[in-house]
Amino acid sequence: MPVHLKRIYEDAKKDDGVRVLVDRIWPRGIKKEDAKLDYWMKEIGPSNELREWFEHDPEKYNQFKKKYKEELEDGEQQEELEKLKDITKKHNKNLTLLFSAKDEKNNQANVLKEILDRQ
């Protein structure tokens, strides 16, 4: 099934399918009961160190992407990535990865989508 990306601040729609928040930190201004989430996979997000280094600077995105993929190959984040892959196989509907970043292109959700699209 297709993987979509969406800011968590956008309204949930029926065709979102399974909604998965992939931010390590809960988004500001969103109540948990209003998020309409199926899963919050905070452990799949980039480490605090990587997130703080990146600061959503588009010029650092290629380095961020490389470092984040390295994080996803090990430990807790690798386990969460495997769970996310299982979720995509388990549900026979669209998957929407939710994120809070203002930059819709240069963020961890895009990296995860790229990985999921290749499986």
Per the structure, the complete domain to which residue 64 belongs is given by: 3-117
Q: What are the tens digits of pLDDT across the range 6-27?
A: 999 999 999 999 999 999 999 9
Q: Given a cut of 90, is residue 54 above it in pLDDT?
A: yes
pTM: 0.93
> Nearest Cα to 45, choosing from 18, 29, 27, 63?
27
Domain tally for the chain?
1
Task: Write down the pLDDT at residue 37.
Answer: 96
Q: Given a cut of 80, is residue 1 above it in pLDDT?
A: no
Q: What are the tens digits of pLDDT across the range 97-118?
A: 999 999 999 999 999 999 999 8
Q: Given a cut of 80, is residue 73 above it in pLDDT?
A: yes
Q: Given a cut of 80, is residue 36 above it in pLDDT?
A: yes
Q: How far apart are the first and last CA of the chain?
A: 11
Task: Write down the pLDDT at residue 118.
Answer: 87
Distance set, CA 94 to CA 25, 53, 58, 79 (Å): 24, 32, 28, 22
Average pLDDT, the chain: 94
Backbone angles phi, psi at 10, to 5 degrees: -80, 150
Tell me the mean pLDDT in the region 34-56. Answer: 95
